[in-house]
């Protein structure tokens, strides 16, 4: 569970945290789709609940999201992005653009177009 530092390279260090099959998909839903609860996040392409639980804990440990009790429903623990988490929005949008151009995933093409045309505005639209 501890972040084993692979090297001094910031790309490798970032990937120690984000470089797996699910973490950035979860963050996509938190940062771009603004999903806030465990059960909303469980939908993503069928992630198993134990994996989702593990990834959320890692993201909390890394200071990318926080979790707080929902005042409206004591069963829920809301997931909220931190400033550090919000700085991942550009990466997610770049991935969206690259994926739209070069993979079979073609959902939300207008978002890709927006990112291509005015990246800064697109990024700002996902900030609080």
Partner DNA sequence: TGGACCGCTTGCTTTTCGCAAGTAAACTGT
Partner DNA sequence: ACAGTTTACTTGCGAAAAGCAAGCGGTCCA
Q: Which residues bind its own copies (CB under 8 A)?
A: 3, 5-22, 24-25, 28, 44-45, 63, 84, 87-88, 90-92, 94-108, 112
Q: Which residues bind DNA (CB under 7 A)?
A: 20-22, 37-40, 46-51, 53-54, 56, 67, 70, 73-77
Return the one option of DNA, its own copies, none that residue 74 interacts with (CB less than 5 to 8 A, by type): DNA
Shortest CB 16 distance to DNA, Å: 10
Torsions phi, psi of 18, nearest 5? -105, -10
Q: Find, among 104, 127, 99, 103, the residue nearest to 116 by Cα.
A: 99
Alpha carbon separation from 87 to 42, 49, 74, 116, 119 (Å, rounded) = 23, 26, 30, 18, 14
Rounded to an integer, what is the distance from CA 50 to the centroid of its chain? 17
Shortest CB 14 distance to DNA, Å: 16
């Amino acid at each position: 569970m501890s972040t084993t530092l692979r090297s001094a390279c910031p790309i490798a260090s970032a990937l120690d945290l984000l470089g797996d099959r699910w973490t950035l998909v979860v963050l996509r839903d938190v940062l771009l789709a603004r999903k806030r609860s465990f059960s909303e996040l469980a939908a993503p392409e069928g992630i198993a609940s134990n994996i989702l639980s593990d990834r959320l804990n890692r993201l909390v440990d890394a200071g990318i999201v926080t979790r707080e009790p929902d005042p409206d429903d004591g069963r829920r623990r809301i997931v909220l992005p931190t400033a550090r988490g919000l700085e991942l929005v550009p990466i997610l949008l770049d991935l969206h653009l690259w994926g739209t151009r070069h993979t079979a995933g073609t959902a939300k093409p207008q978002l890709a177009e927006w990112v291509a045309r005015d990246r800064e505005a697109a990024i700002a639209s996902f900030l609080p």
